[in-house]
Structure 1
Amino acid sequence: MSENNSEEDFLRLRELLNESLLRDVLVFAILYLFIFAQSWSNIFLLLFPIITFSFSLFFRIINSNKYRIFLEHNLITYNPLGLEKKHANRLNFTALLQLVLLFWIGAESYYHPQLIQTYNLFFNLFFIFFFTFGFYWILIDVWKYAKIAIRLKKSNTDKTISYLNLRYFKLISIVNLITFILLNVLNISFVLLLDNNKILGFSYDLPGTGIENSLPLNLSILPFIIIWISPILTSTLLFLIYKDLNDISPADFIKIFEESPEEIRNQLIETFAKINTKFKHNLDTE
């Protein structure tokens, strides 16, 4: 009996898939294959859109399947990470922009190899900007949507029972903005110094490098650092948001259920127990 229940708690692969998810994967895969067909010998830059799209896919899966844990539609608003749909759309958009830039610079290395050194400055600036902007973008208004609320049937209004703490809101906003600005200012500085031969960079072979004696792309040390900083920092901030919103004491739970209409009380208890194991523990304790 317990084995059957445990199996029901896990979604099968076909249950995770839906139209929007398949659309995102299909578009990304097609564009990525176009780039891969250009015969890139060094795939480092190709990792940037993969990382961005992986985050987008994560939020898309959550958004598409979150409703499965709710017994009744719109009874509970559970957004401990903000609006996952917005996050997925924004990250997917910036991932596609990165793919477009990669395809463009790869094609230019074949058809206009003599101009690669001219494009070097613009590519380095915009590519890093799009990558960092995606992670910055999903956090700029997360405070608006990150909440846990219940819908009261009689009044047809939402009662918010948990929202982002003001201290965390200030911390996340400041860290997010400063990091985005700092990384891009540093990138601009490094790219300008590199373009004026003030610092040494790394040679990055493009698909058409060597045609008509064309030179490779020049990269500074910064992209090798930024590829880690933005995803790790964003994950950390999202974890803080998730932890803060789910920090509801057992006493608050009891108060919530006592103030809730009788007809939805049992549904709330069962749904909250499914949402988070901590909620289930608190309910069992009380």
Structure 2
Amino acid sequence: MNEKNNKNHHLTLRNLISESLLRDIILFMFLFLIIISQAWDNIFLLLFPLITFTFSLFFRILNTNKNKTEFENSLVIYNPLGLERINANRFFFSSLFQLILIFWLGAESLYNPHLIDSYMIYFTGFFVFFYTFAFFWIFIDLWKYTKIEIITDPLEEKIDSQFSRDLKNIISFLKYKNLKVSSLITFFIFIILNIVNLIFNVLLINFPSLGMQYFLPSYQPIILSYFFFGILIIPPVLSIILLTFNYKAVNNFSKEKLDKIIESLPRNLQIKIIENLKALSNKIKKQLNSE
């Protein structure tokens, strides 16, 4: 790690730009602009992929920041939110599918408007599924990667750090209680939102007054349930809350366990590990300084 990063432990906006980040932005904007060119008057549906893509960018930037500011020959594996790269890929995948569905709906309204009513129940079903599944997907295997691990053998540093080499060297991980709460809550919310959306779609076929009019590029009106507003808000808000709790839990580790892991190491490696940990977050720095 260079001297500048040693002081700040963060990057400038220019340094945060990576090849994968540019790829995601270019591909997303390309599809987004194609949809805009269809002359949508109401951008409500576009808010769904925009929110999903924002989460993807967040994790992509976190991953870039961690990789570029990581200490050279670091002896600490720090994944308080799981593997950011995997989370970013999952959200990006979801946002692309949502954009494709919106583009398909807009194109059908222009070229086959007589088929729209027949397709709407399938569109809303798949659209809500891809949106809500992204926020459930990141919690499925979060337990595998969420941890703070000490590398006691410097010769093994270059081994893939996705999985633990030695459980004894993990000073903090996602506890079973946190895992259970996160998984169950996101799973039930995912199921409930999709079932309720399906119920509303069936009701709207016979009772269109229960929904709101939404105009397609062909100015053909369709009916969307008011429940779409809840679907838009609930998954991201819930994910932020759960990720925040998990982040705080993982960053709260036992100093005694850390001392036990590093006590057999040479003094210079002990100092290096402590300094690496202090650079990871202010909470860890305060915790180590106070004990």
Q: TM-score, normalised by structure 1?
A: 0.91
- Residue among 278, 282, 286 paired with 2:283: 278
Q: Hey, what does 1:176 align to over in structure 2? A: 186
Aligned to 1:132: 132
2:196 to 186, 193, 200: 186
Which residue of 196, 206, 209 corresponds with 2:216?
206
Offset at residue 74 of structure 1 (A): 5.3
Identify the residue that residue 91 of structure 2 maps to in structure 1: 91
Q: Using the alignment, how far apart are the partners of 1:195 and 1:87 within structure 2?
A: 36
Describe how 1:136-155 pairs up with structure 2 within 5 A: 136-153=136-153
Q: Distance in 1 between matches of 2:154 and 2:115?
A: 67
Judged with a 3 Å threshold, the aligned counterparts in structure 2 of structure 1 residues 198 and 71 are, in CA distance, closer, same or farther, namely closer
RMSD: 2.0
* Contact 1:28–1:96, Cα closer than 8 Å, also in 2: yes
Amino acid at match of 2:190: F
Query: How many pairs align?
Result: 278
Structure 1 counterpart SS, 2:99: helix
Residues 31, 99 of structure 2: 8 Å contact kept: yes
What 5-or-longer segments of structure 2 have no aligned partner?
157-164
Opposite residue 201 of structure 1, the aligned amino acid is: G
Residue among 230, 234, 251 paired with 2:235:
230
Change (3 A) 1:198 1:217: closer
Deviation of 1:173 after TM superposition, in Å, equals 1.2
Which moves more between the two structures, 46-55 or 65-74? 65-74
Instruction: Work out the CA distance in 1 between the residues paired with 2:267 and 2:190.
Output: 48
Q: Provide the C-alpha distance between the structure 1 equivalents of 2:56 and 2:111, rounded to a whole number of angstroms.
A: 33
> 1 CA distance for matches of 2:208 and 2:34?
35
Q: Quote how far apart the aligned CAs of 1:285 are.
A: 2.2
Per the TM alignment, residue 72 of structure 1 is displaced from its structure 2 partner at its CA by 2.8
Query: How far did 1:5 drift?
Result: 9.1
Counterpart residue type for residue 169 of structure 1: L
Residue 103 of structure 2 corresponds to 103
Q: CA deviation at 1:283?
A: 2.4
- Given that 1:69 and 1:275 are in contact with CA atoms closer than 8 Å, whether structure 2 keeps it comes out as no
Residue 98 of structure 2 aligns to a residue whose secondary structure is helix
SS state at 2:71 partner: coil
- State how far apart, in whole Å, the 1-side matches of 2:191 and 2:266 are: 48
Residue of structure 2 aligned with 1:242, choices 233, 239, 247: 247
Per-residue deviation, residues 160-209 of structure 1 (Å, max 9, x unmatched): 11111111111111111111101111111111111232762111001112
The aligned counterpart of 1:212 is none
**1:139 partner SS:** helix
Letter in 1 for 2:287: N
Verify: 1:11 aligned to 2:11, yes or no.
yes
Partner Cα separation in structure 2 for residue 130 and residue 216 of structure 1:
23
1:218-243 C-alpha deviation (Å, 9 max, x unpaired)? 10011111111000001111111111
Q: Distance in 2 between matches of 1:185 and 1:130?
A: 14
Percent identity of paired positions between Structure 1 and Structure 2: 46
- In terms of mean alpha carbon deviation, does 155-164 or 252-261 score higher? 252-261
Q: Secondary structure at the match of 1:72?
A: coil
Unpaired segments ≥5 residues, structure 1: 210-214
Deviations 1:23-56 (A, max 9, x none): 0000000000000111110011111000000000
Q: Which letter does structure 1 place at the counterpart of 2:216?
A: L
- Does 2:272 align with 1:267? yes
Shift of 1:73: 3.8
Q: Provide closer, same or farther for how the CA distance between residues 180 and 283 of structure 1 changes in structure 2, counting only shifts above 3 A.
A: same
* C-alpha spacing 1:125/1:177, structure 2 compared with 1 (3 Å): same
Does the alignment pair 1:31 with 2:31? yes
Q: 1:122 to 1:228 in 2, by over 3 A?
A: same
Assess if the C-alpha contact under 8 Å between 1:143 and 1:164 holds in 2: yes
State the match for 2:160 in structure 1. Answer: none
SS in 1 for 2:77: strand
Change in 2 beyond 3 A, CA 1:230/1:89: same
Alpha carbons 1:193, 1:199 under 8 Å: kept: no
CA offsets per residue over residues 256-282 of structure 1, 9 Å max, x none?
Answer: 443444342121111111101122112
